[in-house]
Structure 1
């Protein structure tokens, strides 16, 4: 079974012992219980593999019977989920509970501020139900946590700080502090999903390549007087990409006094040092959005509380170290252009869980931490990862060049993209995560 011991006297932690009874050989330790860590645990559970999540922060107390409605109409962070991500959550039976607070993307309009080129992606032309969904982070996190709490395959240890990771020929151990005590947990495999500044990555002595974009992403929710009609609008500027994406209304059904289809998620990029006024002055922020988007989104009527996040790229030199896998933002933190980051992380988690499940079904004594197989996973994911990283870098670099000739070339490129047959389906497939 899971072995959680106090490192001073090696007495077993009864809370972990009573959670579930499983063999150590069918057990994964996940460090980090954010969206990626919770999702990985559920993907492993779908394969019949047990896991223990060690999360630094304490989770809020929630239950399925809590009030499910949004408390604040204009106060929410959101994530754009690709079509492939929706398929993955559907496969493990989770999308049904998520979709009430998600809004599908039927089309995308792309242009440059002050430019002549425009391009459109339309679901009908590409023959798909949608390009993806925009979901409220609070609701997505709630559903992931509820599913983990209800699973017999997952043990959750929150408010715990990892301080060491050790490995030998047969297992890996994670040492962590909780409630003033030191504990140690053993398993064949450890997966680190503890974010851009990953402590696990540092303990494992994995180097990183970093790039500071000198930008801050401001995210929040706005309301316009023009219905979004499930269309996302992306504008490129010399500072960075700017986007408004469709959202469901206050309760997903329009019954709380709001009008269906007027609520949008906004991602606004500015230079470091400029964010304070955008965060604190609602009228200035609305006026800036109006200038950037013109009449495309209608009139910006209201803006909600906003958050600011410094943007940088972080790429781990390795994603497999012995019996440890580095995943999520700990492995690759990307620029938010085109909303590819989380979707790439989920495809990594899906690939690892499926590989472990398939191999274990062939051999009940299969070693989940087998280095050769973990290395094969790492190599198999490189094509998709490099493609997404290259795409994000290309877009950011090309649209950051203010040279008039470069701007002209970009706008010609948008026209070509919009008019030349055969280009849109390929780009759309990549954007939806269907080609990896």
Structure 2
């Protein structure tokens, strides 16, 4: 077992031992992280911030990135954009990464919420809530690039990309993962053993499946069309949430293509867009720019100005996937592997970041006491500690989605009255703003 030395990330803890017959076992690893998307990369950095070593196994081969390369980012993850809550920004500030991320993040100063064809609307303003911003919007390609550069530069993080996990084995004091190169059928198997494994490998998690952890799946029968559009009116750091019969829509502020998020002279005509459509209607929105722009115009009116240009768009099926449990022995299921949510209100990634932050902090505390960081009872305590926040966010997303898409005229009238009353009822705005910023968990 490896507790003290590995928890404090000593040089000896990262020693790699190679064995015969083309198999290798890397020993003395504190934490194995399976899945190197945004959550996995961020979690490894959070561990490293506490002096905890980790090895990250990612099935895809990462692109070559250089801190000196100022060109457009490589789309190695996806074409989406992420709304980072105020709490998520604080987490990146804690580990000293926000100054680097800020260069391509655009703050949200106001949030406008309305329903297509109805009278109700509500607004949140940062001045009224006395905050610097409600959050920041960043293109996933830039976020992934910055996180990957930070991970590759950190001496406490080892990367084994281009490798697919094939099996898992646990005993009383360790967990072992067997994997091999995902691009070669003839590649030799390798193994890694550690005190703890954290699976951040997405909605269709291979680790979750290998553990036979059941998950509930709800198919919204919708697709999310995401990308970047340009308008003739500057965004002025306003996020617009619009509810239509098809589902929730959003237009969020973005930085200029090569601009700096801190630069006050930015023109600000680029916007992130999320368009939700029924399954089977994706093609017309993906392939026909003119149709896509006109559809956005019809839905948003002139709130964002005139939509004049559409960039390349991606399409993602919208489902809710919830793991039956998030801990199995010395293994923790995290990120979309634990809970994949509808993108309404932009809560999914921010919830994952709060999970990651909490677990890294608890592991650090466990290590400082020279306790076993993979102790199953300790990990179940983490799971219980996070359930309240998770259930609250899941319930909130479902309530917003179903409440604003219900076709009943009485329900529609009631929700629009609610939007109008939003500005008038005492203490409602601060409460909603606090939840939206991820500051109440």
CA distance in 1: counterparts of 2:22 and 2:313, whole angstroms:
47
User: 1:15-414, aligned counterparts within 5 Å?
Assistant: 23-24=28-29, 27-69=30-72, 77-178=80-181, 180-253=187-260, 260-363=267-370, 366-414=371-419
Deviation track 1:285-331 (CA, whole Å, cap 9, x = no partner) reads 00000000001000001010100101000000000000000000000
Q: Which stretch shows the higher mean deviation, 121-130 or 61-70?
A: 61-70
Deviation at 1:77, TM superposition (A): 2.6
Distance in structure 1 (CA, Å) of the matches to 2:203 and 2:173: 29
Distance 2:21 2:373 in 1: 29
SS in 2 for 1:279: helix
Aligned equivalents of 1:370, 1:168: Cα separation in 2 = 11
Unaligned residue ranges in structure 2 (runs of 5+):
1-12
Query: Per-residue displacement from partner, 1:24-82 (whole Å, max 9, x unpaired)?
Result: 4xx1000000000000000000111110000000000111111245699xx95310000
- RMSD of the TM alignment (CA)? 1.9
Q: Deviations over 1:239-285 (max 9, x none)?
A: 1100100001121159xxx9711110000000000110011000000
Deviates more, 1:2-11 or 1:375-384: 2-11
Deviation (angstroms), 1:93:
0.5
Partner of 2:10: none
- CA–CA distance in structure 2, aligned partners of residues 371 and 253 of structure 1: 45
CA–CA separation in structure 2 for the residues paired with 1:67 and 1:216: 33
Counterpart-to-counterpart distance in 1, 2:372 and 2:266 = 54
1:100 Cα shift? 0.8
Aligned-pair CA distance for 1:8? 7.6
Distance 1:354 1:430 in 2: 22
Measure, in 2, the Cα distance between the counterparts of 1:396 and 1:309: 17
Whether the 8 Å contact between 1:163 and 1:177 is mirrored in structure 2 is: yes
Partner of 2:5: none
CA contact (8 A) 2:232 2:269 kept: yes
Q: How many residues align structurally?
A: 420
TM-score by length of structure 1 reads: 0.93
The answer to whether residue 423 in structure 2 is matched with residue 418 in structure 1 is yes
Runs of 4+ in 1 over 6 A off after TM superposition: 3-8
Contact 2:23 2:190 in 1 (8 A): no
